[in-house]
Structure 1
Amino acid sequence: MFWSCWIQTRFSNIEASTRKVLEKLGVPYRDMEGTSCCPEPFYTGLLDRELWLTMAARNITIAEALGLPVLTLCNGCYETLFEANEFLKENPEAKEKVNKELSKIGKKYQGTVEVKHLTEALYELGLDRIKQAVVKPLTGIKVAVHPGCHLYRSKKTEDWYFKAEAFKELVKATGAEVVDYNLERLCCGFPQRSFDEELSLTETLRMKLESVSEAGADLIAVVCPTCYLQFEVGQADLKSKTSLEFNIPVAYLSELLALSFGYKPEEVGLDLHRIPLTKLVERVG
């Protein structure tokens, strides 16, 4: 399990709910000890691609030592680790350069494991298995699914939309209703924050929230802690800048699954949300 920089430091609710879900489903896993930042795909990847590849490869060697695939809960981490892994497998010269650097710390990238996002791992486990674990269906809860930009990364032979559809099916398995909205593919706007916060909030995030609101969604479901942060904290920032108030709750996929599996809100850290999931909590009692 590659937890990423933020989940264990800022979003313990995502960690707690994910552990509960995997426990309930009987899925064995190991925490990857000694990981660094993935590193994030935008700035590091653009400014120093060799550094980006080397850091990603070092992280992957930890999973290789365990003989297990990498499982990540962050879309950005998924893009970095997945794309670096696939690139190094296909490019021997790049792999040799990376291993020359890794040899300085006693590491060697082999290219022997796969990188998976939690979404595809749960879907591959089987929707029937997930549905059998549901004891408190989220009936009546309308969910706007936000796959996030990086979840669309895939192998050349795979359907690039597969993981987004898998995400929707997993939400439906909880008993909740997935609502369609016009701007599903629109970025959450977080990457723009570093160079134009006003554009990020008053244009991208605002348009996204308006689309979700018009669809009548009770909450936004995400599978990325960065998108989670943008939607939740971004709403407060947007209100302070423009007085626009949407007050749309945000939940990570594993939180929805854990609640439908019968775990209590306090067991999965729902009290840590800035925007209370009131309707959802009332639904599960």
Structure 2
Amino acid sequence: MRFSFFKGCFIPIRQPHIEKIAYQILPELGIELESVTGFTCCPEPMGVSLPHKFTGIVFAARNLAIAEEKGNDIITLCNGCTYTLKQVNMQLKRDSELRDKVNEILAETDLQFKGSIKVKHFAKVLTEEIGLEKIRGKVEKPLKGLRVASHTGCHILSPPEIMEFDDPLNPVRLDEMIKILGAEPIDYSYKTQCCGWTLSNFGDRASANRLLGDKLRGMHDAGADSINVICPQCLAQLDTGQMMAGRTLKLDFELPALFYLQYLALTMGYSLNEVGYGSHRVKDPGFEAKIRGILA
């Protein structure tokens, strides 16, 4: 299956190793990623869509219109991009008056929103279109003995009637995804709590640190070796944010956070270095020893 690959802003600039892994392993599962010239920011809600709602809608509609010209659905690696594009896509399909206003603006760039494509998060594609059993078939090095705490993130869960990903009050899809790789998914306190990325960057960093600290302690107390995420902002917060919060909160542990595709690549025989672990801020010798043992 072929998709227009919406990389977003965050991954290409701050986490290019995640983009690289996507290009390397998703085709092995039958997902063809087409790079698209002309995509811009989705846009990011806090910086654009909240203070300038209509402008944000036009930004998103332009990205959707570009993908429509390619004739492929959009696939993203980002909860936030999925949230923005999916909501605007549905809104414009339902509201003809708004759609006409947006298309009047888009006409200046020779584009038109038609509502002919869908926006899909890679995790939803993997679980619903590829299937967990096909993923299991690609696992060469099961993550046996690794205890993983999954953090689903906020934007992929709500509003549930639009995002259609998981139960916001009891998300389990990521646990199922990590279990199929041979790891042990663990439940923990504050599982549904936000990672605090938005609060940290647009609000009160001290409050964000306390929020993140509660979540990390819940994971650690439950016996997690590492963290699993499917959102680049969540990865940044649970990695770099953890490093920064740890200094303030005097945390006496470190929990490496990895993007799901990194775990998947490890089970396919890639090394920690090859999945970009070296670029992460939070590292743990115990976790690394377990992975080396698995890959041996």
Instruction: Tell me which interval the TM-score lies in, with the shorter structure as reference length.
Output: over 0.9
* AA in 1 matched with 2:204: D
Stretches of structure 2 lacking an aligned partner (at least 5 in a row) = none
Q: 1:100 aligns with which of 87, 101, 104?
A: 104
Contact 1:135 1:262 in 2 (8 A): yes
Which of 161, 166, 179 is equivalent to 2:173? 166
Whole-angstrom CA distance in 1 between matches of 2:162 and 2:260: 26
Query: Residue by residue, what CA displacement relative to the aligned partner does 1:183-218 show, whole Å, maximum 9, x if unpaired?
Result: 1110001111222111111x2111111111111101
Q: Contact conserved, 1:232 with 1:274, CA < 8 A, in 2?
A: yes
Q: 2:113 aligned to 87, 109, 115, which one?
A: 109
Code of the residue aligned with 1:144 in structure 2: it is: A
Q: 1 or 2 for the larger relative contact order (CA 8 Å, sep ≥6)?
A: 1
Distance in structure 2 (CA, Å) of the matches to 1:81 and 1:279: 40
Identity of aligned residues (%): 35
What is the one-letter code of the residue matched to 1:79? Y
SS, match of residue 150 in structure 1: coil
Partner of 2:218: 211
Contact 2:243 2:281 in 1 (8 A): no
1:269 maps to 276
Evaluate the alpha carbon distance shift between residue 91 and residue 226 of structure 1 in structure 2; reply closer, same or farther with a 3 A threshold: same
- Give the deviation of 1:3 after TM superposition: 0.7
Instruction: Tell me the TM-score normalized by structure 1.
Output: 0.94
Where does residue 199 of structure 1 map in the other structure? 207
Paired AA for residue 181 in structure 1: Y
2:16 aligned partner, one-letter code: S
Task: Tell me by how many angstroms 1:271 deviates.
Answer: 1.8
CA RMSD after TM alignment: 1.8
> Where has structure 1 moved over 6 Å in runs of 4 or more?
none
Distance 1:20 1:169 in 2: 23
Out of 127, 133, 137, the position equivalent to 1:132 is: 137
Question: Following the alignment from structure 1 to structure 2, what is the Cα–Cα distance between the partners of residues 280 and 91?
Answer: 52
Question: For 2:108 and 2:181, how far apart are their aligned partners in 1?
Answer: 48
What is residue 20 of structure 1 aligned with on the other side? 24
The answer to which of 152-161 and 187-196 deviates more is 152-161
Report SS of the residue matched to 2:6.
coil
Are 1:223 and 2:230 matched, yes or no? yes
Q: Displacement, 1:6?
A: 1.4
Given that residues 75 and 151 in structure 1 are in contact (C-alpha distance below 8 angstroms), is that contact kept between their aligned partners in structure 2? yes
CA distance in structure 1 between the partners assigned to 2:117 and 2:175 by the alignment: 27
Matched residue SS, 1:156: helix
The total of aligned residue pairs comes to 284
- From the superposition, tell whether residues 160 and 15 of structure 1 become closer, same or farther in structure 2 (CA, over 3 Å): closer
Distance (whole Å) between structure 2 residues aligned to residue 239 and residue 183 of structure 1: 17
Aligned-residue offset at 1:284: 2.0
- The answer on whether the counterparts of 2:242 and 2:282 sit within 8 Å (CA) in structure 1 is no
1:34-89: per-residue Cα shift (whole Å, max 9, x none)? Answer: 21111112342221110111000111112111111110111111100010111111
* Structure 1 counterpart of 2:288, from 268, 278, 281: 278
SS in 1 for 2:235: helix
Q: CA offsets per residue over residues 86-107 of structure 1, 9 Å max, x none?
A: 1111111111111111111111
Question: TM-score of the superposition, structure 2-length normalised?
Answer: 0.91
* Matching residue's letter, 1:149: C
Structure 1, unmatched stretches of 5+, are none
**What letter corresponds to residue 197 of structure 1 in structure 2?**
R
- Cα distance in 2 for partners of 1:174, 1:227 equals 21
CA distance in 2 between partners of 1:6 and 1:157 (Å): 23
Q: Which residue of 2 aligns with 1:151?
A: 156
Contact 1:171 1:178 in 2 (8 A): yes
**Is 1:60 equivalent to 2:64 in the alignment?**
yes
